[in-house]
Amino acid sequence: MTSVFLTRRAMLSGGTLLGIGALLAACGQQAANEAAATATAAPETASALAATSESASASASTTPKPVMTRGYSGKSKAPDGEYRKADAYGPAQNVQEPRKEPAQYPETEQGLYRMMKDWVVAHNYAIQTGDCSYAFKYITKDAEEYGFYQYIESLYQRGGWTVDGLDSYQPQGPLIYDEAKKKYRMLHRRFWSTVMYVEPDGTLNMEANTDTSDDTFYFLFTYSDGYWKIAGSKSDEELQNEK
């Protein structure tokens, strides 16, 4: 499943966003430092690994991609309780944890606002940690966001992480109920600037919000037994085409 959160972002070339060279250099230096520490602590093991590496290099016909070593953002483990954003060295640390379970809110605009505030915390927590278990509870399985969270989980499980990419949302219109579809909708504007998806094999997917024409769209919602859920999103054009 391809998520609207991924397809609505324009990919950048390697030379477009300043800092890619610094990122690769930083990660390469971190890997070198860790290799040196390993050699000091266990010289025999390090020698064996070096021999294996040399043998593999001799038989390789192409130059291997750089490997991103996930460590600590800011080059060190942050003290307990100190938030530290993600960077070239590793993912964010001590991110604010969302509420354990979604709360019951009234079937009103105010109730929806409160749910969305909780969801954004869970959403940004997922982006920064790879733990999407909280965010999944606020969406239906047919929502585009579901595919986005699956991608984020897979990225972190592979050893990658995300730098920046946090979202905020602002309501742009009234809450509307569609009797035929039994769903609510509300126009929202999404605010984001840049994001970098760091793959463990050295691949960098870098995106910037240079085209804001698709930043305003309708969120679709369901309401049942006191709980709001996000059921997807559509542009105004998509909604018009459904009529």
Q: What is the pLDDT of residue 62?
A: 61
Residue 230 phi, psi dihedral angles, 5° rounding: -80, 125
Query: Among 50-59, 111-120, 121-130, 196-205, whose mean pLDDT is lowest?
Result: 50-59
The answer to whether 160 and 200 are in contact (CB under 8 A) is yes
Q: What is the pLDDT of residue 79?
A: 96
Surface-to-core class of residue 56, CB atoms within 10 Å of its CB (0-12 exposed, 13-18 middle, 19+ buried): exposed
Pairwise pLDDT comparison (168 vs 21), residue with the higher score: 168
Condensed to tens digits (0 to 9), the pLDDT of residues 26-38 reads 444 444 444 444 3
Name residue 33's beta-bridge partners: none
Give me the CATH code for the 4-21+97-242 domain, please: 3.10.450
The answer to whether 129 and 91 are in contact (CB under 8 A) is yes
- d(CA 88, CA 20) in angstroms, rounded, equals 9
- d(CA 107, CA 136) in angstroms, rounded, equals 21
Mean pLDDT confidence for 146-154: 97
CA distances from 199 to 40, 44, 132, 159 (A): 28, 30, 18, 7
Q: What is the pLDDT of residue 64?
A: 62
Mean pLDDT confidence for 178-182: 93
* pLDDT class of 230 with cuts at 50, 70, 90: very high
Q: What is the pLDDT of residue 68?
A: 78
Mean pLDDT confidence for 221-241: 94
| In the chain, % of residues over pLDDT 90 | 64
β 168-171/183-191 pair status: antiparallel
Condensed to tens digits (0 to 9), the pLDDT of residues 40-71 reads 343 343 343 334 344 444 444 465 667 878 99
Name residue 50's beta-bridge partners: none
Q: What is the pLDDT of residue 33?
A: 43
Q: What is the pLDDT of residue 4?
A: 52
Q: What is the pLDDT of residue 5?
A: 53
Spans of all domains in the chain: 4-21+97-242
Condensed to tens digits (0 to 9), the pLDDT of residues 72-117 reads 999 999 999 999 999 989 999 999 999 999 999 999 999 999 999 9
Look at residue 196 and tell me whether its pLDDT is greater than 90. Answer: yes
β 216-224/161-164 pair status: unpaired
Pair of tokens at residue 206: 């870098």
Condensed to tens digits (0 to 9), the pLDDT of residues 3-15 reads 455 554 333 333 3
Q: What is the pLDDT of residue 58?
A: 45
Mean pLDDT confidence for 188-216: 92
